[in-house]
Amino acid sequence: MILKIIFILDLICLLLAGLFMLSMMTKRCPKSGFYAKLGDCLYAHRGLHAIRAEIPENSLRAFRLAANNGYGAELDVHLSRDGRLVVMHDESLKRTTGANANISGVTAQVLGQLTLEGTREKVPFLEDVLPLFDGKTPLLIEIKTENGNHEELTRKVTSLLKQYPGLDYMIESFDPRVLLWLKKHRPDIIRGQLAENFFRDEGCNLNPVMRFLMTNMMTNFLTRPDFVAYKYEDRDDLAPGLCRKLWGPQFFWWVVPSQEDANPLLERGDMIIFEGFAAKR
């Protein structure tokens, strides 16, 4: 009787382990074509910024410097109250502009009056940034959803991108609903799942179940991302290691802090989002 119980428990554990590994399913990384072109580029986190030189993050000056120096750029897009596509990392305007408000609660007119981090640089809109990269280097666009606006935000971003046929880009998000929308409506767009160990993120407001699901990318079997972008500090965790071995997707790592850290990643074919140094291959 005891052996039978042990056998059943072992069988259950094996089944759960199989389902866990299956849930991370991604598309296998192709070795040529569009991916190869994007893989030749290094991506500056929120542009090539340096506040000591009065070049704030996610500013037009930071993006212009990235493109002019041959780098791609990672940027973040929010939706304003009146439906404009705003390029900024935080939903709150406090840290970068000093304004005690959220992007989703203000209009473009209000945003146009704000400056970034004590400089003269204005809060940019996505249509201001795209021409800087059109025909030059690629963009990695992160869609930042708020209060269920994933469909409207993703639709508006992809609609605007159609106006720039010479622009190479990918779209990523922490929100699996963004990837599901892309899979259904724009499967031609390269899409990526952003992830990290959410149990280490003190600012995370997810409940424990969602933290587990998102840390282990367990929505991948539904969204089938083309790539995974995982937090660099969590690179030795079980989830990204298993995902790489089982499914072989293209990996991005964010944010890589030095050339020394970047070298082994680049040598094995990973892509990097870097900050604080001039990355080289």
pTM comes to 0.92
Closest by CA to 197, choosing from 228, 240, 227, 258, is 240
Per-residue tens of pLDDT for the chain, all 281 residues: 665 555 444 444 444 445 556 667 787 666 556 566 687 899 999 999 998 899 999 999 999 999 999 999 999 999 999 999 999 999 999 999 999 999 999 999 999 999 999 999 999 999 999 999 999 999 999 999 999 999 999 999 999 999 999 999 999 999 999 999 999 999 999 999 999 999 999 888 889 999 999 999 999 999 999 999 999 999 999 999 999 998 889 999 999 999 999 999 999 989 999 999 999 99
180 part of a folded domain? yes
255 part of a folded domain? yes
11 part of a folded domain? no
Phi/psi for 145 (5° steps) reads -90, 155
The CATH number of the domain holding residue 170 is 3.20.20.190
Residue ranges making up the domain that contains 267: 33-274
193 part of a folded domain? yes
Q: Are 280 and 260 contacting, i.e. CB atoms less than 8 angstroms apart? A: no
123: which DSSP letter? Answer: P
Q: What is each CA distance from 82 to 124, 162, 163, in whole angstroms?
A: 15, 21, 21
4 part of a folded domain? no
Domain count, the chain: 1
User: Which residue, chain included where needed, has tokens 């944010």?
Assistant: 255
211 part of a folded domain? yes
Closest by CA to 143, choosing from 116, 110, 176, is 176
59 part of a folded domain? yes
280 part of a folded domain? no
Q: Which amino acid is at 10?
A: D
Q: Residue 46 — left, alpha, or beta (φ > 0 → left; ψ -120 to 50 → alpha)?
A: left
